[in-house]
Amino acid sequence: MKKVFENPHAEIYDISHEIPHTIFAYWKGYLSMDSPEAITACQFSLDYFKEADIWVMISDHVYLEGATLPFLDWLHAYYFPTCIANGLKAEIILESSYDIGNITLELMYDKEDLQKHLKDKTLYTPKVKGLDNAKKLARAIVTQHAQTTAPK
């Protein structure tokens, strides 16, 4: 794993040497619009999707304590649509070790809220147990996407 970003709210690793087009991210703390570091971490990931041709992000939320409703609204209105625009196909979710963190994840990845701003496009956001399962799923997603986009 090659660390490409770190601040108080995220650590992001490029794991494309192991799984092509894939990054791994730890999301940490309490995310708020009042925290410039939280926005910076999200914006870095968005830019990196585009620059490094990332299709899959494995998001480990074990250290996520929660997020404010305005931050969740921002994720739905800006972050997720920009993920898709910048090439992300899937975000594989690993849950938090905090109860409030897991409630936040339920709100963050609520299908209705997530789709509201995606303009008929989709972002696959499965929740899985364990990093090994997340990596297996990431490999399958990358393989499937590569096959569907390969020239014929």
Give pLDDT tens digits for 96-147: 998 889 899 999 988 887 777 777 678 999 999 999 999 999 999 999 988 8
* Res 126: pLDDT: 93
Considering the domain 2-149, what is its CATH architecture?
Answer: 2-Layer Sandwich (3.30)
Q: What is the mean pLDDT of the chain?
A: 93
Span 73-93, pLDDT tens digits: 999 999 999 999 999 999 999
pLDDT confidence bin for 56, thresholds 50/70/90: very high
Instruction: Return the percentage of the chain with pLDDT > 90, whole number.
Output: 79
Q: Where are the domains of the chain?
A: 2-149
pLDDT reading at 67 higher than 80: yes
Instruction: Return the percentage of the chain with pLDDT > 70, whole number.
Output: 97
* Res 113: pLDDT: 76
Sequence-distant (6+) residues with CB within 8 A of 72 are 104, 107, 108, 113
Cα gap 66→30, rounded to integer Å: 5
* Res 151: pLDDT: 67
Name the pTM for this structure.
Answer: 0.92
